[in-house]
Amino acid sequence: MKKHLISILFIALSLSAFPQEGSLGDMFNDEETPKEKTPVIATFKTTRLINTQTIEQVKHGELDFRISHHFDDIAGKAGGVQTLYGFDNVTDIRLSFDYGITDNWCVGFARSKGAYLHRQILDFSSKYKIISQRKNGGFPLTISAYVIAGLTTMKSSEDIYAVNYFKDNFSHRLNYVGQLIIARKITSGISLELLPTYIHRNYVHYTDKNELFALGIGGRIKFTKRMGIVFDYYYVFDKMRTPKNGYYSPLGIGLEIETGGHVFHILFSNNKGLIESQFLTENHSSWLKGEFRLGFNISRIFNVIKKKKNEK
C-alpha cells in the first residue's frame, strides 16, 4: 500500500510537469498569460511543511526564526485523559535560525531536545535552489538540494555497547542527511514535491545500518488566500524498518495559516522527533494505535539587511 501511494503521487507529479492545453491552472488565471518564461513563485508558503523541507528559500538578508514543537501521544498507552491527550509531555522541541546568503542559498543552525536515542542535538544545514519552475513552456519543476549535519551534545553512556557511547570517538556523535527536493506548482492552489533522501549515521547498533535511503512526498492544497492543508509522508527503504519490527513511516497532516509576517502550522503526526536523522530511523509510533500527536510550527521572518527600494 505504501509503495503504491508513492507510485501514484510520483506519476501525478511527473504528468503535471508537462504543459497541457486547457490545464486546470487556466481556470485560476484571469489575466492574459505573458509570453516570457517567467519563474513560478510561492510554490509553498514557507520553507517547511510538517516533517519535510520545501523548495522555498529564505531570501537574501532575511532571517527565519522557527519554533517546532511536538506533544506526546493523543491516544494509545501514553495518551488519553491521564496525560491530557499528550499535553502533559513534550516529545521534542526545536529552535532554528535560517539566513539567506543569496536568494537561492540559505544556511541554518538549530537546537533540538531530541526524541529518541540521541538527545540535545545541534544541527547545521544548507539549502540551495538549483533551478526554478518557469511558466509558458519553461522548465516544469523546481529543484533544490538540502544537507544537514547533526551533533548530539548529550553525556556519553557508560555502556561501551550502547549507541550513545561517545567516549572513545567524537565522530560517533555525528550524523548526516542529504536530499534533492523536486517540486511543482500544479495550479495556484495545489503544489506537490518529492524528496529522495540519503541518511548516514556514524555509529549504530551492530544489527542496524549506517546508511539508509528514503523517499518523501509532500503537498499543499490552498482553500483560501491565507489558509491551506499541508501533508507529508516518508517511506524508508529498509527491510528491517517495517511494522512487524515496530517501525512505522512518518505521516503528518496539518492546517497552514498565514498571519502577516507569521506562517503557522497546526499539525498531527505520528513521529516524535523533528529532524530527519531521527524520525526517519527511529519512529516507533503508529497512527492506527493512537500514537499520533498534536504539534505546531511557527515561522517569523526578520529583515537583517535592509533592501534597496528597487529590490523586491
Q: What is the pLDDT of residues 132-155, one digit of tens each?
A: 999 988 899 999 999 999 999 999
Q: Which three cell numbers stand for residue 279?
A: 524520525
Write down the pLDDT at residue 100: 96
Domain containing 141 equals 2-10+73-303
Residue 252: C-alpha distances to residues 173, 193, 265 (Å) = 28, 15, 11
Q: How far apart are CA 243 and CA 248, in angstroms?
A: 6
- The closest of 259, 203, 209, 257 to 237, measured between CA atoms, is 209
User: Which of the given ranges, 29-33, 152-156, 307-311, has the highest pLDDT on average?
Assistant: 152-156
CB 299 within 8 A of CB 108: no
Q: Which three cell numbers stand for residue 14?
A: 511527473
Q: Is residue 33 part of a domain?
A: no
Q: Is residue 38 part of a domain?
A: no
Q: Is residue 57 part of a domain?
A: no
Q: Is residue 85 part of a domain?
A: yes
Write down the pLDDT at residue 105: 97
How do 62-73 and 90-102 pair as beta strands?
antiparallel
The total of other beta-carbon atoms located within 10 Å of residue 85's CB is 17
Region 99-113 average pLDDT: 96
Question: pTM for this structure?
Answer: 0.85
165 CB-near residues (< 8 Å, 6+ apart): 156, 157, 158, 159, 172
Q: Is residue 247 part of a domain?
A: yes
Domain CATH number, residue 224? 2.40.160.40
Q: How confident is the model at residue 16 (pLDDT cuts 50, 70, 90)?
A: very low
> Total domain count for the chain?
1
Write down the pLDDT at residue 136: 83
Confidence check: pLDDT of 22 > 60: no
Q: Is residue 31 part of a domain?
A: no
- The closest of 176, 173, 183 to 198, measured between CA atoms, is 176
CB 308 within 8 A of CB 302: no
CA 218 to the chain's CA centroid: 8
Q: Is residue 101 part of a domain?
A: yes
**Average pLDDT, rounded, for the chain:** 87
Q: How far apart are CA 211 and CA 217, in angstroms?
A: 20
260 or 100: which carries more pLDDT confidence? 100
Q: How far apart are CA 105 and CA 6, in angstroms?
A: 29
pLDDT, tens digit, for every residue of 161-193? 888 899 888 999 999 999 999 999 999 999 999
Confidence check: pLDDT of 79 > 60: yes
Q: Is residue 63 part of a domain?
A: no
